[in-house]
Amino acid sequence: MQTLALDEIAPLLDGQVDLRRRPGSLQPLRIPAAEAPLYDPFNRWVASAAAGVRLRFKTDSRRLVLSVNQRLVPPTPPAFEPRGLYDLYIDGALARRAVADGGALIDPEGTLSGDEAAQLAFEDLPAGEKLIELWLPQAATVSITGLAIDAGASHSPWPDPRPRIVFHGSSITHGMEAAGASAGWPAVAANLAGLRHLNLGWGGSCLLSGLAARILRDQDADAIVLKLGINVWPDGALRERTFLDSAHAMLAIIRERHARTPIAVVSPIYSPGREDTGDNGGLALTRMRDLLAQAVEIRQAMGDDRVRYLSGLALFGEADAADLPDDLHPNTDGYRRMGERFHALMLSGKDALLKA
């Protein structure tokens, strides 16, 4: 087999904000590498997990071997589907899901167990040139150390010319609980609409922050989706005054370079125990929905006709609670339904936020 150099692999990656280059490895990041020290350790880790990152290329190879250093967060009770799956698409269709052989586990305190080195091999791929899209696991940090194809096989980048939609949100947008790397709701919605997408869902770390707003501002984006609220519920992190101010600030920063880009502001989905009660004197989810709707109405009244509000209950409501195993995160069926509903409500029809 022939192993591609890291400089050959880099142009094949999509879905990242930046790449961290170390001797012998290439790590996709969903924050700017130079600014990583600005983020708290947990935010830095989840923003380094490979949600929505994929390798895209053309090849006539019958075999594909990916070598990585991988740190995977195992599922927590109540049990969700297994984590760490790589999704292989061939000519636009999901062909296989597989886990890498090896890799380390990492717990919420950052303790590692096992060897990071891992390898993923796909054999007996279809003959002839084909379009490969290999999605990296969304619940793991992945540093690519090698990509091998058959000796003499051809390979070339497969650029994605489709309009680009950028999502920002919490763990629900990050989608760690989904069974497959491409099974989170942003990926489902974007794929149904025929769009390229960037997933900036950060588990536990969507805090309506200026740092996140700057990243969103600086992305190439034909539309932006902000799924806001749930991560500031714990400990009453933002109160009514600061929550509304933070929402306006985030939108204002994004508008500095996206003056006419369509933006959808999406409020929290249903979550038992949080709907009508705040934590530590903070906001209940019902009030967050009111305030986010108010923020959008204010901006619309000021002349911004490219911003819209969507209640998270339209994506996942009380009737869907059976697919909310921990009363917070949807399972794979719940994520799929969210993606289908977002597509139907915001990415299809004559009033679509964005069309392919």
User: Distance (Å, rounded) from C-alpha 101 to C-alpha 122?
Assistant: 12
User: Distance (Å, rounded) from C-alpha 212 to C-alpha 215?
Assistant: 5
Instruction: Tell me what pLDDT residue 110 has.
Output: 78
In eight-state DSSP terms, residue 127 is: S
Both tokens of residue 165? Answer: 């939609």
Instruction: Tell me what pLDDT residue 79 has.
Output: 59
Residues 288, 248: contact at Cβ < 8 Å? Answer: no
Instruction: Tell me what pLDDT residue 83 has.
Output: 85
pLDDT, tens only, 17-26: 999 999 999 9
Facing residues of 88 across strands?
Answer: 96, 134
User: Distance (Å, rounded) from C-alpha 27 to C-alpha 175?
Assistant: 20
User: Distance (Å, rounded) from C-alpha 143 to C-alpha 124?
Assistant: 25
CATH number for the domain running over 2-157: 2.60.120.260
Q: At which residue do the structure tokens 């289908």 appear?
A: 340
Both tokens of residue 13? Answer: 């990656």
**What residues in the chain have per-residue pLDDT under 70?**
77-80
* Whole-number Cα distances in Å, 170 to 174, 212, 228, 231: 6, 12, 7, 6
CA 13 to chain centre: 15
User: Distance (Å, rounded) from C-alpha 151 to C-alpha 297?
Assistant: 59
Residue whose C-alpha is closest to residue 313's, from 333, 293, 294? 293
Q: What is the pTM of this model?
A: 0.96
Could you state, in order of their start, the residue ranges of all structural domains in the chain? 2-157, 164-346
In eight-state DSSP terms, residue 163 is: -
CATH number for the domain running over 164-346: 3.40.50.1110
Instruction: Tell me what pLDDT residue 109 has.
Output: 75
User: Distance (Å, rounded) from C-alpha 246 to C-alpha 169?
Assistant: 14
CB burial readout 3-12, b (16+ within 10 A) else e: ebebeebeeb
